[in-house]
Amino acid sequence: MIMGLATYIVNLETSSARRQYMQGLLEPFSFLDVTFIKAVDGRQMSDSQRKEAFDYDASMKHYGRYMNEGEVGCALSHRLCYRALLDSDKPFAMVLEDDISVIRDWNSLPWDEIEKTLTSSRPRVLFLSGDYWRLSSRSITPVFDAVGAYAYIINRAAAEAILSIDKPYVVADDWLAYKRLGIKLFAVYPYAADANLVEALVSDVRQDSWMTNHSLMAKSELARRALPAFIKHVLKTAGLFESKFRG
């Protein structure tokens, strides 16, 4: 067990019901040292503020579309968590969004293995969430790629790598982009947290354009995505995609 595990919960200041929900949800896990991070509400930012904080031109080359206000706010909010980690003396921290569900008892997770994996000078992220392409069937498995940023643990080196990009241009869960920074991905298997299961907790991000637009993406980005797409197809065909519950 990792006592005093720094745990940052991304939460809009106006979302008091979600704060109460998360406080109740995490009450059984006394080893967590919980801090609510005041999320950035991209909808409340002016166009100039968003453009100053987020690189829209780079995001267009990367995705072939512009990020919406919720996506920008979400990406900036997760960066606040990474900054909080670096401002602390902790070697790693858990980052949670405020609409998760616990689907395995976190008290019984393989914390010794988790701590060993994350205690490294190399940048690492470990998912408690599902929707990932795993490379083994071990309880802590290396991961090729994942979808979602609602429950994971990040170490200092990974936080430093992400924040080395002064002006972000990707969504919070673009793990392939983060892998290009040298970050290695891991996950607990089977996964231990889900999201969007509580009907009252409708997503605040309101992401309405999940897909990329290949016709507007940079050709170099299209080429760079080809091999990862093939590898994910192979892993999924081999039964190595850990899909989260979808009601």
Amino acid (1-letter code) at residue 198: V
Alpha helices in the chain (DSSP H): 16-26, 47-53, 56-63, 69-87, 111-118, 156-163, 175-179, 219-237
CB-based contact 132:147 (threshold 8 Å) = yes
The model's pTM: 0.93
What order of strands is seen across the sheet that includes strand 151-155?
A: 32-38, 5-11, 92-97, 151-155, 124-127, 184-188, 140-146, 132-134, 241-242
Token pair, residue 196, equals 């969007």
What is the rounded CA–CA span in Å between residue 145 and residue 174? Answer: 9
pLDDT by residue for the chain (247 residues), tens only, comes to 789 999 999 999 999 999 999 999 999 999 999 999 999 999 999 999 999 999 999 999 999 999 999 999 999 999 999 999 999 999 999 999 999 999 999 999 999 999 999 999 999 999 999 999 999 999 999 999 999 999 999 999 999 999 999 999 999 999 999 999 999 999 999 999 999 777 666 555 444 445 677 777 888 888 888 999 999 999 999 999 999 875 4
CA 195 to chain centre: 12
All domains of the chain in start order, with CATH: 5-242 (3.90.550.40)
